[in-house]
Amino acid sequence: MHNLKEIRKNFEFFKKALEKRSIDIDFDKLKDLDQKNREFIQKKELLEQKKKEISKTKDKSLFAKSKEISSEIEKIDTQQKSIKLDLDKLLSNIPNIPHKDVPLGKNENDNMELSKAGKIPEFSFNPKSHYELGEKLNMLDFDLATKTTGSRFVFVKDKLALLERALSNFMLDIHVVKNGYEEISPPLLASENTMFGTGQLPKFENDQFEVKLDENNNRKFLIPTAEVILTNIVKDKIVDQKHLPLRYVASTPCFRKEAGSYGKDTKGMIRQHQFYKVEMVSIVEQEKCLDELERMTNCATGILDLLELPYRKVILCSGDMGFSAEKTYDIEVWLPSEKRYREISSCSSCSTFQAIRMKARYKNQKNETLFLGTLNGSGLAVGRTLIAILENYQQKDGSITIPKILRPYMNNLEKISIN
């Protein structure tokens, strides 16, 4: 969310910057509501001051007058509150402003490749897709998931279940020991307010799984990413600067409705309603956001380097970035069956956008209270890493060689083959 004062000051800048995101926001309405809101506040404050003076005098002859003022205040207050509500609604639906480094563009086609790494494997045979491989091994079972649950779910079994678990453990170890993140095992449900804090609500409610916990109206949602719950650790807090940066990592299931992607990636486990992801979150001073973004992205690519998987780094264009992001790098891994790169990690700086929503602040050395910067990045999406290993490490006979670095996590197993 943006600071209204800033918008007021740099009205044209905001208007222009948000045009880059190819969404339309009624800025004239915003301006109008803001102005009305302030007028009502001024009226109200004047009356409140009068009332206060009367009560200080303790003069009984003035008490009736004070009562009159009270009822007048109430009238104005009702109007002001309703205007404020509309204003907040409008404001909370405005996305973050793209950083000036971000390339201009409409959609994913305008994203820019920045670098490539790793060696793309060559096969003497036609490489199979991960779901062909997994089903043949009898270790990925989509039909079973359809029976017990429905589409876009999967049973991961046997050695692939072990691989999935190994991947989580391996990634967590690297991020904790080498990259300095604190490991968290968080709740998988988030309150409505928490979902608002990171920007999933109110605009993207359609993508969330809501869970009915009780009959009250305390809404709860399954987290679509651990970013939600990890970032909100600093919600409503004023952190001492000496505790910064805060870096958290968690491996959690993520739940998404994928409402807007009917017919997309329907085969295999590329796009599921539920998947594991190792997520990194950093909380930093606002001016350190971009440095931290580079660092975080390197933490993500570091995992791919260790797994010896080929990938490329992409910077998202203004039109393809997420709601809360000011700048985003996607890391895409090579999938031999598709002969192209697919997203396996996304690292974003959200500047103070989420912090303003969450009221997450810190005190600097001048004793000023400032909003924090928040960042999040996958390190990595476990499900898709599993896919990448299946496809890139497949052998002619359908067996899968296990990357060396993972073997200690898998009882020194070297190869997954049909039983």
Partner RNA sequence: GGAGAGGUGGCCGAGUGGUUGAAGGCGCACGCUUGGAAAGCGUGUAAAGGGGAAACUCUUUCAUGGGUUCGAAUCCCAUUCUCUCCGCCA
Where do contacts with RNA occur on this chain (CB under 7 A)? 3-5, 38, 41-42, 44-45, 48-49, 51-52, 54-55, 58, 63, 66-67, 70, 216, 218, 238, 240, 361, 363, 365, 367-369
Burial label for 316, CB within 10 Å (0-12, 13-18, 19+), is buried
Q: Give me the least distance between CB of 19 and RNA, in Å please.
A: 24
Nearer to RNA, 53 or 287 (CB): 53
State the Cα–Cα distance between residues 309 and 294, nearest whole angstrom: 20
C-beta closer to RNA: residue 223 or 388: 223
Instruction: Give the whole-angstrom CA distance, residue 318 versus residue 19.
Output: 10
Least distance to RNA, CB of residue 18, Å: 20
**Least separation in angstroms between CB 207 and RNA:** 24
Q: How far is the CB of 34 from RNA (least distance, A)?
A: 7
Residue 7 tokens, joined: 């918008």
- Tokens encoding 56: 């200080």
CB of 269 to RNA, least distance (A): 28
The smaller minimum CB distance to RNA, of residues 124 and 369, is found at 369
Q: Which is nearer to RNA, 285 or 308 (CB)?
A: 285
- Specify the amino acid at residue 50: K
Compute the least distance from the CB of residue 55 to RNA, in Å: 4
Under a CB-based contact definition with an 8 Å cutoff, are residues 404 and 309 in contact? no
6 vs 141, beta carbon nearer RNA: 6
Q: How far is CA 181 from CA 26, 224, 246, 249, 349, in A?
A: 41, 21, 8, 6, 17
Rounded Cα gap, residues 212 and 106, in angstroms:
37
Q: CA 250, CA 278: separation in Å to the nearest integer?
A: 6
Closer of 67 and 106 to RNA (Cβ): 67
- Residue 404 buriedness (CB in 10 A; 0-12 / 13-18 / 19+): exposed
